[in-house]
Amino acid sequence: MNKWATLLGAMLLTGCVATPDPGSEKITVLWGDALEMLHCEDKGVVVGSQGHWYDYWLIEDGVLTQGAVNELRNKAMLLEADTVLLYAPKPFSTSVTFLAKAYRCHP
């Protein structure tokens, strides 16, 4: 019985993958050089992260990655940005984390 309660608890905790807010899918996500963003207004740093030490083994890597990107876009939208420039992903074994700069490139 205790084994089932633990499994059920872990499954309930895994339902927390970020989904895109309405309109955030319009935000462009780029890898590249900050020099490309010289004509854009810097809106700040955003972090997108998905996965935890207790549930990473229950969620596919692609789902964690998409959740982290969704979180980046959602946070960038709150800053009124239209583009995020990703830095190299942070290497964690139990989660996916992206650090990015948010920019407003189009009026």
pLDDT band with cut points at 50, 70 and 90 for residue 77: very high
Distance (Å) of CA 95 to CA 14, 63, 65, 106, 107: 12, 11, 9, 32, 35
Minimal CA–CA distance to 98: which of 50, 58, 54? 50
- In the chain, domain spans: 21-104
The whole-number average pLDDT for the span 29-55 is 86
The answer, yes or no, to whether residue 53 has pLDDT greater than 60, is yes
Per residue in 13-36, pLDDT (tens digit) is 445 677 777 878 888 888 877 777
pLDDT at 39: 92
Which numeric CATH code is attached to 21-104? 3.30.110.70
pLDDT at 12: 47
The whole-number average pLDDT for the span 90-106 is 83
Minimal CA–CA distance to 96: which of 74, 76, 71? 71
pLDDT band with cut points at 50, 70 and 90 for residue 90: low
pLDDT at 95: 79
Residue 25 or residue 92, greater confidence: 25
